[in-house]
């Protein structure tokens, strides 16, 4: 083998060892292309796009944990949790910073409880994750419809608006910094903690993990709880971003969370989680939507194109995993 061939093989192995590399390259190329086309290629445009991607990434990171449990698990209740959390956070706080101090913990606790319900139906009632979380989503939607006529506030607490929209020292968006902090914490959890290592092991081989004595139900259950809690937090931030709440607010985040996770390098069949890749995958999808908007594609065409892209990514990821 020649020196060039050995170097190429080494470079290929290095690339394969960095699962988020393609999301990073795709995001960079898309950002440059958009900047050149719109004559807006600068750091400020990248920061603005990254801020928009943060709202998706917060929720997608929770989806990543559920997918990591293996077995093709996906949490379909995420959009409903987002919408419910947006209504509750805005409704309880009612534009008051003082009320927001307890509104946020209450919403997060409700999100965690929904995660417990999902975990119970999947792990103890033995209902397939997609069906179980879809059923939970319908129940949440019913609760939203019951609450909606009593939702009268049109204001979000200023402190929540500050976190979702303002910047630290006028430079770095607070929500982006929070998202990066969540990415770092999840990466540390998956890499250094016993729970994180057990979660990866369960996703790689459930039977083997069970035979080694791991509490697989507890491990998987925590993933569902963390997922719903992050979805609830994402709903609070998204509500502050749009300054309110409305029916269907979380609907766009269903396939987008799955797409962000898979584009970022997390295995769709579980066993590998890539928090940084999920953030970069969210950035890529936001850039993709922005590109379609700049191209003048109507909303229907955007949804079709986005859906086809996510299906393609899932197909390629599935084939790669099987190989």
Query: Among 62, 104, 84, which residue's Cα sits nearest to residue 226?
Result: 62
pLDDT at 16 over 50: yes
Task: Indicate the pLDDT class of residue 11, thresholds 50, 70 and 90.
Answer: very low
pLDDT by residue (tens digit) across 236-250? Answer: 999 999 888 888 899
Structure tokens at 222: 């925590």
DSSP string, 112-141: HHHHHHHHHHHHTS---HHHHHHHHHHHHH
pLDDT by residue (tens digit) across 104-142? Answer: 999 999 999 999 999 999 999 999 999 999 999 999 999
Q: How many helices, marked H, and strands, marked E, lie in the chain?
A: 14, 2
pTM above 0.75, yes or no: yes
Sign of the torsion formed by the C-alpha atoms of 199, 204, 210 and 211? negative
**CA atoms of 194 and 175, how far apart (whole Å):** 29
Task: Indicate the pLDDT class of residue 318, thresholds 50, 70 and 90.
Answer: low
**CA atoms of 34 and 234, how far apart (whole Å):** 27
pLDDT by residue (tens digit) across 32-63? Answer: 888 777 777 778 888 888 899 999 999 999 99
In contact, 69 and 202? CB cutoff 8 Å: yes
Give the pLDDT of residue 299: 75
Give the pLDDT of residue 309: 76
Give the pLDDT of residue 105: 95
pLDDT at 150 over 70: yes
All domains in the chain, ordered by first residue:
21-322 (1.10.3470)
């Amino acid at each position: 083998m020649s020196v060039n061939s050995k170097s190429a093989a080494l470079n290929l192995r290095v690339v394969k060892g960095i699962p988020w590399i393609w999301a990073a390259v795709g995001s960079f190329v898309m950002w440059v292309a958009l900047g050149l086309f719109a004559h807006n290629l600068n750091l400020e445009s990248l920061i603005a796009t990254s801020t928009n991607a943060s709202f998706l990434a917060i929720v997608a990171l929770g989806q990543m944990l559920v997918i990591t449990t293996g077995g093709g698990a996906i949490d379909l209740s995420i959009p409903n949790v987002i919408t419910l959390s947006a209504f509750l956070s805005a409704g309880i706080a009612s534009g008051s910073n003082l009320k927001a101090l307890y509104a946020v913990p209450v919403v997060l606790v409700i999100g965690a409880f929904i995660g417990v319900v999902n975990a119970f139906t999947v792990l103890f009632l033995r209902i397939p994750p997609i069906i179980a979380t879809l059923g939970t989503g319908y129940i949440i939607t019913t609760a939203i419809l019951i609450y909606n006529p009593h939702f009268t506030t049109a204001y979000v607490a200023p402190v929540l608006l500050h976190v979702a929209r303002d910047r630290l020292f006028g430079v770095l968006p607070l929500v982006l910094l929070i998202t990066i902090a969540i990415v770092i914490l999840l990466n540390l959890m998956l890499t250094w903690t016993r729970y994180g290592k057990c979660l990866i092991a369960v996703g790689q081989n459930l039977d083997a993990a069970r035979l080694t004595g791991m509490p697989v139900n507890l491990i998987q259950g925590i993933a569902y709880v963390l997922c719903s809690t992050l979805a609830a937090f994402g709903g609070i931030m998204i509500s502050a971003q749009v300054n309110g709440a409305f029916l269907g607010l979380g609907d766009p985040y269903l396939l987008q969370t799955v797409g962000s996770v898979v584009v970022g390098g997390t295995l769709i069949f579980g066993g590998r989680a890539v928090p940084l890749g999920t953030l970069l995958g969210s950035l890529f999808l936001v850039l993709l939507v922005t590109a379609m908007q700049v191209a003048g594609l109507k909303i229907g065409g955007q949804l079709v194109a986005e859906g086809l892209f996510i299906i393609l990514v899932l197909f390629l990821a599935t084939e790669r995993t099987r190989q």
